[in-house]
Amino acid sequence: MNSFFKPVRTIIFFSISAISVLVVIFAYAKLSVQPVRPLAQNKDDIERGSIVDRSGFPLAVQTNFYHVGVSARNIRDDEAKQAAFARDIAPLLEMDESLVLSIISSSKSFVYLKKKIDSTTFETIKKMTDAKGYNFVSYEKIPGRNYPNHDLASQLIGYMGDDGKGLAGIEFSQQDILSPEPHSGEESVQAKNVFLSIDANLQYKLEKIARESMSETQAESMMLIAADAKSGEVLSYISFPSADLNNYSTSSQSARIDRPAMNAYEPGSVFKIFSVGIVYDEHGISPNETFVCDGVYEKRLANGERIRIKCLEHHGTLTARDAIRLSCNDVLGQISDRIGEDDFISRIRMLGFGQRTGVELPGETTGTVKDNTSPLWSARSKPTIAIGQEISVSALQMVQAATAIANGGIPVQLTFIHKITNKDGTTFFTHEPLYKNRVFARNTADYILSCMETTAKIGTGSRANLRDVAIGVKTGTAQMADPNGGYSETDFLSSCMAIFPVDDPQIILYIVVEKAKGETYGGRIVAPVIGEAADVIIDHLGMSRGGAASLEHSGVIKLATPQTITLGSVVPDFTGKSKKDLLPLLNRTDVTLTISGNGWVTSQKPEPGTPVTENMVIELNLE
């Protein structure tokens, strides 16, 4: 030991120790002269904004959920108390007593019995546990989301996860609007409410039609989009199967897919309206020019290659209008010969194919549009694309392109946002139509629309004809790709595009049925659905009908002043109240209204006269 403490080592050791002590003293001295910082205050959680339809009808609202936990060590050695507790709480949590007991026995400290129970159930359980003296039960309050209409427009609305972040749909894309994060230097931020462009009542009616159609055709999936042709606002957006947003975690993967935005598919014969429009706009064909369909489009190239595209019929002599009306592959192939490959593909891209539409939805596909320089391009690519094959599109792209036909050659940007308001109701943003560059001459758009009207009157779309409102349609049936290569002999994609009224287009309606059983032709299974859905839209929006009956009226209409609903210390009787009557209560932060159905209130929970408690959930059933 004495040999270790040599003078040099001793000096180095004490020098380092002295320096360390001086550094510590200096640090404490520096802190002592600095002003004391105030303790950071916990900031109130910002309530997430609501998602409502264009009229303010609630689609996604903020609520509170509770996790129910048990301190298992406090009752681990008392089997009688465990049994009594399980017997009391199991029915309230909708669980088996044996399951409650097994959960408690599985932990030596703390364990959750059930997560995300609603406020009404929480109040009932807490009242019971307080009365019974079950002080080993604890509750964790967490912010959550309530979707009062369950699976209505579910892929559009989207879903919020337990962490308060949107995971899909508008909940995801508008996260910064619904629940903004404060930036550096900001003390507070304000969440906003998003008014979607869809009409919830119209959505409900069209979803009913879509479900009936899927049932009748035994289809695997279905898409429906109804858009305002003038403003680009989407009024109804359907993707079936759909998921109950209140039970999103247990839904199937198929029910979560936003098909109109994410799925890319070959559009089939509906695409022919764009092919004819492009060639007509390039002056490659004229209205009265005729072509001969002999049942097959056939062409022999200089290198000896032979192209053959079959047609369903031997149509004989046809104009371009007839080719659309009868959906003739042979004549469409001949029409495609009137335009060069570069010009044809360029014009297709001008219509928006091969790129995202830019709507407010995540995961949107670009589809695929081949260039003639691609290794996959062949001599048959141009005529094949002209009839809707060798190109993949989304349903949103098809509707976006159709706005050019409806608006005299000028497409309008599609949107799902009608307006955005602050929490106090003041308007933050209002949608204004965004028109794009012209893609068709006015006379071209009018010509294609008139061809679609002919198709509805005496062509493949005759089952969509409305009689008292002029409608233009184009049907399509496309073989789906076979996973093993080529095209399937059993799986088809049946579709129909509609624009109406023809004289002043207001609505674009597009429906796609995937993998129907039995009959698959779009003109036979989708055109009737187009007609039914168009009828509903016309009546719902109050559009005029040419054959509608007229009535004389004084012009004076008396409106009864609705009685304001007040929510005091007890729950009122909501029976007979309409959804509109309930809207003022949706701004309340101390209670949550859950609305199921449409029409007027027929039943409620809790019963009238029940004392109002904080964070109470009031369930209302409407018919």
Per-residue pLDDT reduced to its tens digit, 489-512: 888 999 999 999 999 999 999 999
- Residue among 237, 232, 231, 228 at smallest CA distance from 206: 237
Per-residue model confidence as pLDDT tens digits over 122-145: 999 999 999 988 888 999 888 888
| Mean pLDDT over each residue of the chain, to the nearest integer | 88
Q: Are 471 and 508 in contact (CB under 8 A)?
A: no
Q: Are 63 and 118 in contact (CB under 8 A)?
A: yes
What share of the chain has pLDDT > 90, as a percent?
A: 61
The span from the CA of 440 to the CA of 520, in Å, is 32
| pLDDT score at 609 | 77
Question: Hey, what's the torsion of the CAs at 599, 605, 611, 615, to 10 degrees?
Answer: -90
The span from the CA of 78 to the CA of 74, in Å, is 8
**Chain position carrying tokens 């308001």:** 421
Is the predicted pLDDT of residue 20 greater than 90, yes or no? no
Is the predicted pLDDT of residue 186 greater than 70, yes or no? no
| pLDDT score at 623 | 62
Is the predicted pLDDT of residue 270 greater than 90, yes or no? yes
pTM score: 0.78
The span from the CA of 497 to the CA of 216, in Å, is 20
Q: Are 452 and 530 in contact (CB under 8 A)?
A: no
The span from the CA of 359 to the CA of 173, in Å, is 10
The arithmetic mean of pLDDT across residues 60-81, rounded, is 85
CA–centroid distance for 447 within its chain: 33
Per-residue model confidence as pLDDT tens digits over 532-591: 999 999 999 999 887 444 444 445 545 444 556 777 778 888 777 777 777 777 767 777
Position 227 confidence tier, pLDDT thresholds 50, 70, 90: very high
- H or E stretch at 22: helix 7-33
Per the structure block, which two tokens stand in for 575? 């029976």
What share of the chain has pLDDT > 70, as a percent?
A: 90
The arithmetic mean of pLDDT across residues 342-347, rounded, is 97
Half-sphere exposure of 256 (CA within 13 A, CB side): 15
The arithmetic mean of pLDDT across residues 109-116, rounded, is 88
Per-residue model confidence as pLDDT tens digits over 237-258: 999 999 999 988 889 999 999 9
Per-residue model confidence as pLDDT tens digits over 115-126: 888 888 999 999
Mean pLDDT lowest among 19-33, 65-79, 299-313, 536-550: 19-33
According to DSSP H, which parts of 427-519 are helical? 442-458
- Residue count of the chain, please give it: 623
- Residue among 126, 88, 82 at smallest CA distance from 107: 82
Q: What is the DSSP letter of 424?
A: T
**Chain position carrying tokens 């305002």:** 228
Q: What is the DSSP letter of 308?
A: E
Is the predicted pLDDT of residue 292 greater than 60, yes or no? yes
CA–centroid distance for 131 within its chain: 45
The span from the CA of 295 to the CA of 292, in Å, is 9
| pLDDT score at 32 | 59
Per the structure block, which two tokens stand in for 565? 């609903």
